[in-house]
Every structure is written in structure tokens, then in C-alpha cells.
């Protein structure tokens, strides 16, 4: 992927040139530089490694499910508010798959 030197937008290939989709800036392609670029095809071919959390692939922890009183849950963290706020921790019960969250205050 190449970005425009003029406006910063993503460029597309057209023959032996890179062309900006926004401002029309053009530059010649460099095969050596393009060989160094990582493509989505290369990412798709990589091996996926599962991290032990059973069939969900999520790690487990001790947590009391408010729905069925099971004492084990999968967990993950997700940014749901603005970037300057802390992440929210989500839990999924390993028995009934009830989902709840825990906010850091």
C-alpha cells in the first residue's frame, strides 16, 4: 500500500504508476519497494494459533456468572468509549454463555 506524498490519501496502481484517488498525483512504481510491502494475501496465508481457551479461543478466569452461578468465564477487553477512557472487560459464562461486563472506575 502506498500513500500520496501530496495529500496522504491511499494510492492505486495503474500500469507502471501509482495514482492518487483523491488529488490525481502520480509517481512511478518501484518493484523493489513493492516487494517489501505486506499484502492481505500474505496475512491470510499465515497460520492462526489458538490461545488455549477451549472452543472460543478466549482465555478463562474465575468469575461468578450472575445468571447461573457458574464460577468460570471466558474474558476479553474492548475499547468502547473514547481513547482516553479505560477499556471495558467482558465476560462470557463457560456454561450458559451469558455475557456481562465489568468497567474500571
pLDDT digits (tens, 9 = 90+) for 11-46: 888 889 989 888 989 999 888 877 777 665 545 544
Let me know whether 29 and 70 are in one domain.
no
pTM: 0.45
Is the pLDDT at 78 greater than 90? The verdict is: no
Q: Over the chain, what is the mean pLDDT?
A: 78
Cα distances from 32 to residues 16, 29, 36, in angstroms, run 13, 9, 7
Enumerate the active-site residues. Answer: 84-85
Binding site residue list for Zn(2+) = 4, 7, 20, 23, 65, 68, 93, 96
* pLDDT value, residue 41: 54
Q: Is position 1 within any domain?
A: no
Q: How far is Cα 73 from Cα 40, in angstroms, rounded to an integer?
A: 33
Q: Is position 2 within any domain?
A: no
The domain in which residue 28 lies consists of: 11-45
Q: Is position 32 within any domain?
A: yes
Let me know whether 33 and 73 are in one domain.
no
Let me know whether 16 and 34 are in one domain.
yes
Amino acid at each position: 500500500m502506498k500513500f500520496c506524498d501530496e495529500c496522504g490519501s491511499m494510492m492505486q496502481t495503474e500500469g507502471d504508476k501509482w495514482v492518487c484517488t483523491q488529488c490525481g498525483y502520480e509517481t512511478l512504481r518501484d518493484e523493489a519497494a513493492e516487494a517489501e510491502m505486506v499484502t492481505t494475501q500474505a496475512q491470510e496465508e499465515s497460520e492462526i494459533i489458538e490461545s488455549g481457551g477451549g472452543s472460543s479461543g478466549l482465555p478463562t478466569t474465575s468469575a461468578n456468572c450472575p445468571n447461573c452461578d457458574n464460577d468460570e468465564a471466558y474474558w476479553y477487553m474492548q475499547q468502547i468509549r473514547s481513547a482516553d477512557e479505560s477499556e471495558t472487560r467482558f465476560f462470557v459464562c463457560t456454561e450458559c454463555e451469558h455475557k456481562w461486563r465489568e468497567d474500571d472506575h
